[in-house]
């Protein structure tokens, strides 16, 4: 295991922001974790665990150690006639892991096809798309405590999952390395096609009882049609979260803006579409210098080339201010902003 100095992170974050890490290391095998925790570069510095780099904004060079998890492996732990438990190591690519399950006919994460990033990053923001969240199939998360080096298994309830939220964004932030996740998937078909855009797509393509692969393919098609490929135009997916609001606020906004899209999630909470709010403020497709909001998805902030973290955050602050001015609503970034 080699700890590198002054390492260029530009190719390791999908927003392609130019930033360097004082120290950088890749974990490739379990013994690397033990070794890392004993190293002075790790013990004496601030740390950041990097996955696929698809949800991160480096504001400056990182004055500490960046650890990239590349621990690989997908294993079936147990199974019966109806379900299967799958352990996925944190360094696996999320979409590849979804395809593994789709090809084996294991139901539960197909709506999360093509979500960028790594398996180890998935629980941090409880990735979600097209009516499914990671928490719906997750049983536990395996972590190492960075202070004691001890391995712990956090059960679903301990992870405190919410919309784009978990313990890993709050009290456990920076305190543990996520080494693996354990999912319980179904061998019996369990299609979740209630999300309107997915349902409409399947209907339009005359797919009435979709197979697992057809759902995964449909999700990929929808995503490709509106979300820019970071390899072509650097971006971090949704830059902002949708807004969770109480019913009184929704009621008065709906009176003023009857077309405002709102969604109820499975816990009964209503979300306002932040993309719509941003679009109403005239930011969809708008570019300022090297930064802009994408023309097909107003939640996706893009770097047209060479933008710094400071430029991106300055642009994002303008959007926050204009949504605040027009709607009196405070939208919040979804990306992890690293100072």
Distances (CA, A) of 207 to 69, 195, 213, 229, 265: 39, 15, 12, 26, 25
Only segment of 62-70, 89-97, 165-173, 275-283 that touches ligand EPU (CB under 6 A): 275-283
| 95 lies in the binding site for ligand EPU (CB under 6 A) | no
Residue nearer to ligand EPU on the CB measure, 41 or 295: 295
Q: Using CB under 6 A, pick the residue from 13, 216, 297, 303 that binds ligand EPU.
A: 297
- At residue 4, φ and ψ (nearest 5 deg) are -95, 155
Q: Find the binding residues for ligand EPU in span 305-334 (CB under 6 A).
A: 334
Tokens of 165: 């939220």
27 with 66: CB under 8 angstroms? no
Give the residue numbers marked as catalytic. Answer: 164, 238, 334
Which region among 11-19, 27-35, 134-142, 291-299 touches ligand EPU (by CB under 6 A)? 291-299
User: How many residues can be counted in the chain?
Assistant: 339
Footprint of ligand EPU on 34-93 (CB under 6 A): none
Letters for 189-208 (x = contact with ligand EPU by CB under 6 A, - = none) are --------x-----------
Q: Is 261 in the site for ligand EPU (CB under 6 A)?
A: yes
Contact status: 276 vs ligand EPU (CB under 6 A):
yes
Residue with the CB atom nearest ligand EPU in the bound state: 237
Spatial separation of the C-alpha atoms in residues 15 and 178, rounded to whole Å? 23
113 binds ligand EPU (CB under 6 A): no
The residue within the footprint of ligand EPU, chosen from 273, 308, 322, 336 (CB under 6 A), is: 273
Smaller CB separation from ligand EPU, 84 or 298: 298
Residue with smaller CB distance to ligand EPU, 33 or 115: 115
Query: Is 241 near ligand EPU (CB under 6 A)?
Result: yes
Q: Which residue's CB is nearer to ligand EPU, number 10 or number 262?
A: 262
Judged by beta carbon, residue 42 or residue 130, the one nearer ligand EPU is 130
- Site size with ligand EPU, rule: CB under 6 A: 18
Q: Does 299 bind ligand EPU (CB under 6 A)?
A: yes
> Contact 316/333 with Cβ under 8 angstroms?
yes
Q: Which is nearer to ligand EPU, 14 or 182 (CB)?
A: 14
Residue ranges that bind ligand EPU, judged by CB under 6 A: 129-130, 197, 227, 237-238, 241-242, 261, 273, 275-276, 279, 284, 297-299, 334
């Amino acid at each position: 295991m080699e700890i590198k100095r002054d390492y260029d992170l530009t190719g390791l974050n999908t927003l392609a922001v130019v930033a360097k890490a004082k120290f950088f290391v890749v974990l490739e095998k379990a013994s690397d974790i033990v070794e890392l925790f004993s190293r002075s570069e790790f013990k004496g510095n601030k740390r950041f665990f990097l996955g696929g780099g698809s949800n991160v904004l480096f504001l400056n060079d990182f004055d500490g150690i960046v650890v990239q998890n590349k621990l690989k492996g997908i294993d079936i732990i147990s199974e019966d006639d109806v379900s299967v438990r799958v352990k996925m190591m944190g360094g696996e690519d999320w979409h590849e892991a979804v395809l593994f399950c789709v090809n084996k006919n294991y139901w539960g994460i197909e709506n999360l096809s093509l979500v960028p990033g790594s398996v180890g990053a998935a629980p941090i923001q409880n990735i979600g798309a097209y009516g499914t969240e990671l928490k719906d199939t997750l049983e536990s998360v395996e972590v190492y405590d960075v202070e004691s080096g001890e391995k712990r298994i956090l059960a679903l309830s301990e992870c405190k999952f919410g919309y784009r939220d978990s313990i890993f964004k709050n009290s456990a932030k920076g305190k543990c390395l996520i080494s693996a996740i354990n999912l319980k998937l179904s061998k019996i078909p369990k299609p979740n096609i209630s999300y309107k855009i997915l349902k409409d797509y399947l209907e339009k393509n005359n797919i009435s009882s979709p197979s697992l692969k057809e759902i995964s393919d449909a999700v990929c098609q929808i995503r490709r049609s509106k979300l820019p490929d970071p390899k072509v135009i650097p971006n971090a997916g949704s830059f902002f979260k949708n807004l969770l609001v109480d019913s009184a606020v929704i009621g008065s906004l709906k009176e003023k803006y009857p077309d405002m899209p709102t969604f109820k999630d499975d816990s009964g909470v209503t979300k306002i579409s932040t993309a719509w709010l941003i679009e109403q403020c005239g930011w969809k497709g708008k570019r300022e210098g090297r930064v802009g909001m994408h023309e097909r998805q107003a939640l996706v902030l893009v770097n047209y080339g060479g933008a710094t973290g400071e430029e991106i955050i300055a642009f994002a602050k303008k959007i926050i201010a204009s949504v605040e001015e027009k709607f009196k609503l405070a939208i919040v970034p979804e990306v992890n902003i690293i100072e």
